[in-house]
Structure 1
Amino acid sequence: MSLFEDLEPWIFVDRFRNQIHALSDTVSASMSTASCDLETSDECRDDAAALRLKMVAIGAIMVAGVAGVSLPLAGRKRRMLRNDGALFVSAKAFAAGVILATGFVHMLHDAQSALTGPCLPASPWRRFPFPGFVAMLAALGTLVLDFAATQFYERKHREETAGVKAAVAATSTEEDESGITVVLSVPSEAVGGSDKDAMHIVGMHARHDHDHGHSHAHGEGEVPSHVRHAVVSQILELGIISHSVIIGLSLGVSRSPCTIRPLVAALSFHQFFEGFALGGCISQAQFTRSAATLMSCLFAITTPAGIAAGALVASSFNANSPRALVVEGLLDSVSAGILIYMALVDLIAADFLGSRMSSSVRLQVASYVALFVGAGSMSVLAIWA
Structure 2
Amino acid sequence: MSFIEDLVPFFFMDPKSREKTGAFSDTIMLKLYQSVSNTTCGSADEEIEGCRDSSAALTLKIVAISAILIASTCGVGIPLVGKKHRFLRTDSNLFLTVKAFAAGVILSTGFVHILPGATSSLTNPCLPKFPWLKFPFAGFIAMMAALATLVVDFVGTQYYERKQEKQSQKDQIDSVDLVSESAIVPVEPKARNEKLFGEEDGGAIHIVGMHAHAAHHRHSHSQEQGACQGNVREHSHGHSHSHSFGGGDEEGGGRHVVVSQVLELGIVSHSLIIGIALGVSESPCTIRPLLVALSFHQFFEGFALGGCISQAQFNSLRSTIMATFFAVTTPLGIAIGILASSSYNPHSPRALVVEGILNSISSGILIYMALVDLIAADFLSKRMSCNTRLQIVSYFALFLGAGLMSLLAIWA
Identify the residue that residue 236 of structure 2 maps to in structure 1: none
Segments ≥4 residues shifted beyond 6 Å? 215-218
More helix by share: 1
Which of residues 241, 244, 250 in structure 1 aligns to 2:277? Answer: 250
Identify the residue that residue 39 of structure 2 maps to in structure 1: 34
Counterparts in 2 of 1:216-295, with a 5 A limit? 224-295=251-322
Offset, 1:356: 1.2
Residues in 2 aligned to 1:143 and 1:285: alpha-carbon distance in whole angstroms: 18
Q: Is the 8 A contact 2:185 2:207 kept in 1?
A: no
Offset, 1:214: 4.4
Q: What do you get for the CA RMSD once the two structures are aligned? A: 2.2
1:64 equivalent in alignment to 2:71? yes
**Aligned letter for 1:286?**
Q
1:303 equivalent in alignment to 2:330? yes
Residues in 2 aligned to 1:350 and 1:124: alpha-carbon distance in whole angstroms: 39
Question: SS where residue 50 of structure 2 aligns?
Answer: coil
Which of residues 148, 164, 180 in structure 2 aligns to 1:141? Answer: 148
| Count of residues in correspondence between the two structures | 351
Q: Is the 8 A contact 2:145 2:361 kept in 1?
A: yes
Offset, 1:309: 0.5
Offset, 1:18: 3.2
Residues in 1 aligned to 2:273 and 2:140: alpha-carbon distance in whole angstroms: 19
Which of residues 93, 100, 105 in structure 2 aligns to 1:98? Answer: 105
Q: Is the 8 A contact 2:60 2:284 kept in 1?
A: yes
Unaligned runs of 5+ in 1: 1-7, 181-203
Q: Is the 8 A contact 2:156 2:255 kept in 1?
A: no
Which of residues 96, 109, 121 in structure 2 aligns to 1:89? Answer: 96
Q: Kindly tell me: are residues 207 and 155 of structure 1, through their superposed partners in 2, closer, same or farther at Cα, counting changes over 3 Å? A: closer
Counterparts in 2 of 1:1-385, with a 5 A limit? 9-15=15-21, 17-38=22-43, 40=45, 41-178=48-185, 205-206=207-208, 212=214, 214=216, 224-385=251-412
**Aligned letter for 1:311?**
I
Q: Kindly tell me: are residues 82 and 209 of structure 1, through their superposed partners in 2, closer, same or farther at Cα, counting changes over 3 Å? A: closer
Residues in 1 aligned to 2:17 and 2:114: alpha-carbon distance in whole angstroms: 45
Q: Bigger shift: 326-335 or 162-171? A: 162-171
Residues in 2 aligned to 1:205 and 1:39: alpha-carbon distance in whole angstroms: 82
Question: SS where residue 87 of structure 2 aligns?
Answer: coil
Q: Deviations 1:184-238 (Å, cap 9, x if unpaired)?
A: xxxxxxxxxxxxxxxxxxxx953776885748999xxx76133321221111111
Q: State TM-score, norm by structure 1.
A: 0.86
Q: Kindly tell me: are residues 12 and 264 of structure 1, through their superposed partners in 2, closer, same or farther at Cα, counting changes over 3 Å? A: same
Offset, 1:22: 2.4
Q: Deviations 1:23-45 (Å, cap 9, x if unpaired)?
A: 02311221110000238454322
> Max radius of gyration: which structure?
2
Q: Is the 8 A contact 1:172 1:210 kept in 2?
A: no
Q: Kindly tell me: are residues 39 and 238 of structure 1, through their superposed partners in 2, closer, same or farther at Cα, counting changes over 3 Å? A: closer
Offset, 1:351: 0.3
Q: Kindly tell me: are residues 208 and 301 of structure 1, through their superposed partners in 2, closer, same or farther at Cα, counting changes over 3 Å? A: closer
Residues in 2 aligned to 1:119 and 1:358: alpha-carbon distance in whole angstroms: 51
Identity of aligned residues (%): 56
Unaligned runs of 5+ in 2: 1-13, 188-205, 218-240
Residues in 1 aligned to 2:292 and 2:213: alpha-carbon distance in whole angstroms: 62
Offset, 1:178: 4.3
